[in-house]
Amino acid sequence: MTWGPAAGVDDDEHITCADLQQMVGQEPLFLLDVREPYEYAAGHIDGAVNIPLGTLQARIGELPRDVLIVCVCRSGRRSLQAAHLLRDCGYGARSLDTGMIGWSQLT
């Protein structure tokens, strides 16, 4: 499946931790951790790529356009900003609604 505005992705900006847990390993997606390197080093979702929010715009070309990008941060605020930026640039992106706080409660 192709993600992005042209592919008919709905306007939902978030993905729940439970939904992401089901998708990991089952659906093609790109996990983008937008926290600072020290936060990422303290713990992250397996397979997530760390590009801090402050550098995302300059590194946007490193991201795939053909899969859903799930943005992750500590609580969901920075990841929502990242998802908005990516969607404005034509990427299919969503924010993990409760971030690593919610994710750590599942695992």
Q: Using CA of residue 53, residue 62, residue 100, residue 4, what is the dihedral sign?
A: positive
User: What token pair was written down for 61?
Assistant: 């070309």
Q: What is the pLDDT of residue 4?
A: 43
Architecture field, domain 5-106: 3-Layer(aba) Sandwich (3.40)
Average pLDDT, the chain: 89
Q: Which residues contact 55 (CB under 8 A, 6 or more apart)?
A: none
Gap between the Cα atoms of 94 and 97, Å rounded: 9
Q: Does the active-site annotation cover 73? A: yes
pLDDT at 7 over 50: no
pLDDT digits (tens, 9 = 90+) for 52-78: 999 999 999 999 999 999 999 999 999
| Domain positions in the chain | 5-106
Q: What is the pLDDT of residue 9?
A: 37
pLDDT at 37 over 90: yes
Kindly report the pTM of this predicted structure.
0.88
